Amino acid sequence: MKVLLIGSGGREHALAWKIAQSPKLTKLYAAPGNPGIAEEAEIVALDTDDHAAVAEFCLKKKIDFVVVGPEGPLVAGLADVLRAAGIAVFGPSAAAAQLEGSKGFTKDLCARYHIPTGAYGRFTDAKSAKAYVRAQGAPIVIKADGLAAGKGVTVAMTLDEALAAVEDCFAGAFGAAGAEVVVEAYLDGEEASFFCLSDGKTALALASAQDHKRVGDGDTGPNTGGMGAYSPAPVMTSEMIERTMKEIIEPTMRGMAESGHPFSGVFFAGLMITAKGPELIEYNVRFGDPECQVLMMRMKSDLLPLLYAAATGTLAGMAIEWRDETALTVVMASKGYPGSYAKNTPIQALPTASATTKVFHAGTAMKDGGLVATGGRVLNITATGASAGAAKDGAYAAVSAVAWDNGFYRHDIGWRAVAREKA
Ligand code: AMP
Ligand code: GLY
C-alpha cells in the first residue's frame, strides 16, 4: 500500500514510525514532515492547504491511502476533496469534524443522545451570556465555540473571572472562534483522554492516556498543547472504559450517523471522571499530540490495516493488541513557549535510540547540516517501562542525554500514576 501522511508534529512522527513498520506498506510519503519523519518517509513539497494539489499528487503517485494527522485540514475539508477523487482517507469529513470544530455542535449532540456532560448554554451576545453566568454562579467554564488552538477555554473559579472571559471572547480575543460562546458547568474529578477508532458503524477502543496541559511543574502556569503524556491512565479502569464506550462513544457514533455525517477516523474523547462516572469535556477528531506518541509505543498490532479499516468501513471483527507496559513521553519545548521563543536554536545531541526509548521530533529542522529547533514544542522523549515509575525514569534518563541550551521541560510528567503506584 502507498500511503501519504499529512502533518509535521510529534504525533505524525509517531504515526510515520509505526506505519513504516507495517508489512503492508510499499511506500510512505509525508507532507510537510520534519527531520524525524524524514527517517521513515519521503518528504514531499506539498501545500497541504491546497486540497486540489494534494488530490492531484495522490492520483499522479497512485497513493492508496492518506492519513491526516492534524485537525486543521480535516475541519477545512481535505478528507472530502480526497474522497471525491476516489482516494481512501483516515479522518472525518468536514461535517463530521464539527465534533471538534464547534463545541456548541457537540454539546447539542450530547443533549439529544443523553451523553453525560456538563450542563450548558450557547450564546452569541455578551449580555445573555453574562446573565446565564450570573444565574449559574462560579466555578463555571467559558469556551469560545470554534477552534482556538487550545486557548479558548477559561475555567473560572470566580464570577468576576467568568464575566471577564465572556467579555474577552466577544471582544475578539479568539477571533472568529469566539463569535459564539459556550458556558458550561464545572466538572470536578480526574481528567483522562480516551481514544477509539470508528468507521461510522463500528467503534473499536484504542487506549487511554493522560496529558499534562500546563506549562509548569505541579500543573502551574498557562495551558499548552501538552507537555507530556503517558498511557495507560490508571483512572481508566476496564469498568470506566466499558461505560465510556456505552454511554459516550456509541451514542456519539449513532448520533453522527443519524445526522447524515457518519464519523470515520479516531474519536479523542477528553473525559472528566467525576463521582458519577465518565463525563465528556470535549471531542477531538484526530490523535492527541503527545498522546499519540505513547499510544504508538504501546501498540503491538499493525497500525496501517486498522487505520485503513476505519477509513473503509471494515472495522467490524478487528482487534488490537497492546504491550502490557506504560509508555511515557516528556515534551522538550523552546524557552518562552507557550509565549514567544527564539527560532533556529541548535540541538547538539540526542539520546541514542534503544528498544525502550525513542525520540519523536516535532518542531525541528535541518539547517546547514545541523539539527535546529524551529517550533514551540520540539522533541518528545519517550520510553516504555514495566510501571509508570520505570517509564518515567527511562524517559528522564534519555532527556538528560539531550544537549539543547534553549530547551526546557517539566520534571513531573506522570506524577499522578507514579503516586498511585507508591500509595
Ligand atoms: P478543552 O480545550 O475543552 O480541552 O479545555 C481545556 C481544559 O479546560 C481541559 O483539559 C480541562 O482541564 C478544562 N475544562 C474544560 N471544560 C471543563 C469543565 N466543564 N469542567 C472542568 N474543567 C474543564
Ligand atoms: N494534547 C492535547 C491535544 O492534542 O489536543
Residues 281/271, Cβ–Cβ less than 8 Å: yes
Residue 101 inside a domain? The answer is no
How remote is the CA of residue 224 from the centroid of ligand 2, in Å? 9
Q: Are residues 340 and 279 in the same domain?
A: no
How remote is the CA of residue 20 from the centroid of ligand 2, in Å? 23
CATH of the domain at 167: 3.30.1490.20
CATH of the domain at 392: 3.90.600.10
Residues 142/181, Cβ–Cβ less than 8 Å: yes
Q: Are residues 137 and 168 in the same domain?
A: yes
Q: Are residues 271 and 359 in the same domain?
A: no
What local confidence, expressed as pLDDT, does residue 103 receive? Answer: 85
Read off the amino acid at residue 331: V
Residues 294/231, Cβ–Cβ less than 8 Å: yes
User: In this structure, which residue's CA is closest to atom 12 in ligand 1?
Assistant: 191
CATH of the domain at 287: 3.30.470.20
Q: Are residues 296 and 213 in the same domain?
A: yes
Q: Are residues 281 and 254 in the same domain?
A: yes
Q: Are residues 270 and 213 in the same domain?
A: yes
Task: Mark out the alpha helices in 8-144 (DSSP H runs).
Answer: 10-19, 51-61, 71-75, 78-84, 98-101, 103-113, 126-136
Q: Last residue of some domain: 40, 72, 93?
A: 93
Q: Are residues 367 and 300 in the same domain?
A: no
Residue-range definition of the domain harbouring residue 380: 326-422
Q: Are residues 64 and 165 in the same domain?
A: no
- The one-character DSSP state at 233 is -
Residues 65/1, Cβ–Cβ less than 8 Å: yes
Question: Half-sphere exposure of 298 toward its Cβ, with a 13 Å CA cutoff?
Answer: 28
Helical axes 126-136 vs 159-170, angle rounded to 10°: 160
Residue 109 inside a domain? The answer is no
Structural domain total, the chain: 4
Number of H helices, E strands in the chain: 14, 23
How remote is the CA of residue 289 from the centroid of ligand 2, in Å? 5
CATH of the domain at 43: 3.40.50.20
Q: Are residues 255 and 348 in the same domain?
A: no
Averaged pLDDT, groups of 10, the chain, 423 residues long: 98 98 98 98 96 97 97 94 97 95 90 95 92 94 80 89 91 78 93 97 97 95 94 96 98 96 97 96 96 98 98 97 97 97 97 94 97 98 98 98 98 94 86
What local confidence, expressed as pLDDT, does residue 59 receive? Answer: 97
Q: Are residues 196 and 174 in the same domain?
A: no
Mutate-to-test residue for ligand 1 from 100, 106, 141, 181, highest number of ligand atoms within 8 A of CB: 141
Q: Are residues 339 and 410 in the same domain?
A: yes
User: In this structure, which residue's CA is closest to atom 5 in ligand 2?
Assistant: 288
Nearest atom in ligand 1 to the alpha carbon of residue 270 is: 4
Q: Are residues 207 and 307 in the same domain?
A: yes
Residues 230/414, Cβ–Cβ less than 8 Å: yes
